Amino acid sequence: MAETTEIEIIGFSDGACGPFPCDDTRTCELSTCAPSENLVTAFEALKTELQARDPDVTLKLTLLDDGVPEYVMNIVEEHQPPLPIVLINGTVTPIGRISLPLITEQLERLTR
């Protein structure tokens, strides 16, 4: 049985999916959410793509609109990551945006 990998995206519902404007190059490789640059829309696009590739990947969206959970406060205090925060199996990754190739690269590192 394959081991499940959990990806958690943390940010605000009206926040951007990353620090770069959405343009025709689509370096994030997600087109169904373009050109919204909206975190929630980009999360759904990422979830669709990743789960189509690997059903053992689960995705969770944690919105900070109504407060910041204590574990997120601890992450921010320790790592000071940019929003959106990307966790893979609870570990902070140095991505800082929703990007299919960057997240896929991090997943591949776990299987090496």
Residue carrying the six token digits 């049985």:
1
C-alpha atoms less than 13 angstroms from C-alpha of 12 in its C-beta half-sphere: 8
CB 6 within 8 A of CB 60: yes
pTM over 0.85, yes/no: yes
Q: How far is CA 7 from CA 24, 49, 98, in A?
A: 26, 13, 11
CA–CA distance, 94 with 86 (Å, rounded to integer): 8
Q: What digits encode the pLDDT tens for the residues 28-86? A: 999 899 889 999 999 999 999 999 999 999 999 999 999 999 999 999 999 999 999 99
Domains and CATH numbers, the chain: 5-9+28-111 (3.40.30.30)
Q: What digits encode the pLDDT tens for the residues 2-30? A: 588 999 999 999 999 998 888 777 789 99
How confident is the model at residue 109, as a pLDDT?
87
The answer to whether residue 1 scores a pLDDT higher than 60 is no
Q: How far is CA 79 from CA 15, 58, 85, 87, in A?
A: 20, 24, 10, 12
Chain mean position to CA 63: 12
